[in-house]
Amino acid sequence: MGRAKIVVVGSLVFDLVAWAERRPQKGESLLGTDFGMFPGGKGANQAVQAAKLGAEVFMCGRVGEDFFGESLIANLKKERVDATFVIKDKETTTAVGCIVIDKEGDNSIVMVPQANMRCKTEDVDRVKKIIAQSDLLLLQLEIPLLVDIYAARIAKQEGVKVILNPAPARDIPDELISLSDIITPSEIETQILTGVKADNMDNIKKGAISLIKRGAKVVIVTLGEKGALMVTESKDLHFPAYKVSAVDTTGAGDAFNGALSVAIAEGRELEEAIKLANAAGALSVTKRGAQPSLPQREEVEELNRGQRPFLTE
């Protein structure tokens, strides 16, 4: 397997994180136990994870001309992600995520998109040649939908695989679904996208099948501590999660998607790729912060050994 080459078109967010015994109720002020500032954003997180697993990664997105933006670009470079195509937008500020994490490691997030929502198709044009030369394009939904669709069209024209992480969930056209080789919603995102309540495995499977009917080729539903469910036209497989002690679940889905992209870009079989992605997601929840928690290649490969999927009932 050669070194994977991946383009990520997506978001960059500076995360302000507070830890507390529990998350506050409506109208409540609560004393926290700790605070941290971390580089984040689904696009940047997934790019960093892919780079940590050995891929050559190019990030396309926007930040503001401010301290947060400079910090995000500096961190991408530190993590060996090519930030040439990250634009500093003078007309706005960098996106910020406000995150509260409880003692169980579960989080609530308010993300203010700012520069992310000023991404344009012209930004993608700047990285068009790189997309054509890459193995895979990775997308999320924290930038304008038009930009995602435009990037996916370019990738398809060039015969480049597309993975769409439809997060945060919102209505998306069938065109974007059909342009994607793999779609990776969470349980709740599957419910929002399909209207099928994700309260048990059968219903989650039904939701995934409805996405297949809308043009999806492969749907991989991430299930948190329950692992992941892969659904295609011909089969479905449940991949159990690795047992770890969760400290901070922020970025677990991004670890999964970054690792999945690397494995697919390297030419691994889909089932093996999902196992690797599950291992990365599990390891990421054992440390604090989105990008600081993303695991290295050797950690993921070690945890990945020996796990097997099984047919759902």
Choose, from 15, 123, 181, 254, the residue flagged as catalytic. 254
Concerning whether 254 is annotated as a catalytic residue, the answer is yes
Q: What is the DSSP string of the chain?
A: ----EEEEE---EEEEEEE-SSPPPTT-----SEEEEEEE-HHHHHHHHHHHTT-EEEEEEEEESSHHHHHHHHHHHHTTEEEEEEEEETTS--EEEEEEE-TTS-EEEEEE-GGGGG--HHHHHHTHHHHHHSSEEEE-SSS-HHHHHHHHHHHHHTT-EEEE---S-----HHHHHH-SEE--BHHHHHHHH----SSHHHHHHHHHHHHHTT-SEEEEE-GGG-EEEE-SS-EEEEPPPP---S--TTHHHHHHHHHHHHHHTT--HHHHHHHHHHHHHHHTTSSSTTTTPPPHHHHHHHHTT---EE--
Active-site residue numbers?
A: 254
